[in-house]
């Protein structure tokens, strides 16, 4: 098993809109977190496409990526992910070709096949409503062709985009994208931070059926986890209650803003709701630096991850910065993690 120091750590941010806050505040906080992550040595910083969710501000994902990349200088910036069924492949090739032209060598394109919202929102996005993502493989091939020198050979060209090297990742929470990533020889990222049920099956399928390609000569796996780190286990558990409440609102079909933490969830949820939320969030490192270190080591060992991408829906911005600082100190092992300052 690799030591944590040899596994790159990255950040997944949803630009959370908190109760009492605004989208503008969320974007300022996202950029501040990205700069913090860059100083701390995180490998990449990804934002995700979601729609019609009051607590998530990153719907216009390519725009947010430009905001983050323009405010940083070294860290890789990308999508975790773009929901390809919502878009014409040419549009995504042009958007990410533009980003790569402005920020050369720093842009990633992670792709998912879910709509990132409900059916009504998907219809408003004018996506093809096949209901099963059945055009995703064809759309992926079309998108990849736009980046090739000379384009796809049909007279249509992505300008900018054509001939540029924009790394593509496939994202998923089941075996579909795992099999497709293996078939076309692309790196694969699993969304275990909110949908962990098929984590090990998907990784096993991806590794078993991987075919080397011009993009990648061996399987490469990124695995997502939530991290809520604080100086004590109790303080971290309290931070975690904001995310638990937000997941609970999704379970109830009433998505909302990121709420402040509470002292206990006991009076907030019913037992069956607790079981549902705990299943969704079981890939979460919650605790003091030592607790989080032990959890991440076990998680990395169980998954054989080549990279860990960490999310943290934390209400207080300074506590969120602190949580990622603790994670970075665990990774680097440069100073005692319990004495880090924000």
Q: Calculate what percentage of the chain has a pLDDT beyond 70.
A: 93
Select from 32, 57, 30 the least CA-distant residue to 46. 30
Band of residue 180 on the pLDDT scale cut at 50, 70, 90:
very high
pLDDT at 150 over 80: yes
Above 80 in pLDDT, residue 1? no
**pLDDT for position 117:** 57
- C-alpha angle 294/297/299, rounded to 5°? 105
User: Domain residue spans in the chain?
Assistant: 4-339
**Residue 204 scores a pLDDT above 50:** yes
* pLDDT given at position 124: 75
Q: What is the DSSP string of 54-84?
A: TTB--SSHHHHHHHHHHT-SSSEEEEEEEEG
Q: Which residues contact 134 (CB under 8 A, 6 or more apart)?
A: none
φ, ψ (nearest 5 deg) of residue 123: -65, -40
Residues sharing a CB contact under 8 Å with residue 64, sequence separation 6 or more, in sequence order: 15, 27, 30, 47, 57, 58
Whether 341 shows a pLDDT value over 60: the answer reads no
Q: Is the pLDDT of residue 337 over 50?
A: no
Does residue 280 have a pLDDT over 80?
A: yes
pLDDT value of residue 333: 74
- For 146, the token pair is 């736009």
The third-level CATH classification (topology) of the domain covering 4-339 is TIM Barrel (3.20.20)
Q: What is the mean pLDDT of the chain?
A: 93
**pLDDT for the residue 334:** 40
Distance CA 3, CA 253 (A): 40
pLDDT digits (tens, 9 = 90+) for 86-114: 999 999 999 999 999 999 999 999 999 97
Average of pLDDT values for 213-219? 96
Cβ neighbours around 57 below 10 Å, total = 24
In the predicted model, is pLDDT for residue 132 greater than 60? no
Terminal C-alpha separation, the chain? 31
pLDDT score, position 340: 35
Residue of 158 and 337 predicted with greater confidence: 158
For residue 2, the model assigns a pLDDT of: 85
Beta-carbon contacts of 55 under 8 Å, excluding residues fewer than 6 positions away, are 16, 17, 18, 246, 255, 256, 257, 258
Q: Is the pLDDT of residue 339 over 50?
A: no
Q: What is the distance between the alpha carbons of residues 156 and 142, in angstroms, rounded to a whole number?
A: 11
- Backbone phi, then psi, for 240, in 5-degree steps? -65, -25
Angle at 123 between CA 117 and CA 126, to 5 degrees: 110
């Amino acid at each position: 098993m690799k030591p944590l120091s040899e596994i790159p750590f990255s950040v997944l941010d949803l630009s959370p809109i908190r109760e009492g806050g605004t989208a503008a505040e969320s974007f300022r906080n996202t950029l501040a977190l990205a700069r913090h992550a860059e100083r701390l040595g995180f490998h990449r910083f990804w934002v995700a496409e979601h729609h019609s969710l009051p607590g998530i501000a990153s719907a216009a994902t390519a725009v947010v990526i430009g905001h983050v990349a323009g405010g940083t200088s070294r860290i890789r910036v990308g999508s975790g992910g773009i929901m390809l069924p919502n878009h014409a492949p040419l549009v995504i090739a042009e958007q990410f070709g533009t980003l790569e032209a402005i920020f050369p060598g720093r842009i990633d394109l992670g792709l998912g096949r879910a709509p990132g919202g409900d059916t009504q929102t998907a219809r408003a996005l004018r996506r093809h409503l096949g209901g099963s993502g059945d055009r995703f493989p064809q759309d992926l091939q079309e998108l990849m062709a736009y980046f090739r020198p000379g384009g796809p050979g049909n007279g249509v060209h992505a300008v900018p985009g054509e001939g540029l090297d924009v790394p593509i990742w496939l994202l998923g929470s089941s075996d579909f994208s795992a099999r497709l990533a293996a078939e076309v020889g692309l790196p694969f990222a699993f969304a275990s931070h909110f949908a962990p049920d098929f984590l090990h099956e998907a990784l096993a399928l991806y590794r078993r059926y991987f075919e080397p390609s011009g993009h990648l000569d061996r399987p490469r796996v990124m695995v997502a986890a939530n991290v809520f780190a604080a100086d004590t286990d109790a303080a971290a558990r309290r931070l975690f209650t904001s995310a638990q409440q937000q997941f609970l609102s999704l379970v109830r079909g009433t998505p909302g803003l990121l709420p402040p933490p509470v002292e206990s969830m006991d009076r907030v949820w019913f037992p069956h709701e607790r079981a549902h939320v705990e299943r969704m969030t079981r890939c979460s490192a919650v605790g003091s630096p030592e607790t989080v270190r032990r959890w991440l080591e076990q998680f990395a060992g169980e998954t054989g991850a080549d990279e860990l991408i960490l999310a943290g829906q934390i209400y207080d911005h300074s506590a969120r910065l602190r949580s990622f600082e603790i994670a970075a100190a665990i990774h680097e092992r440069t100073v005692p993690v319990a004495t880090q300052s924000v």
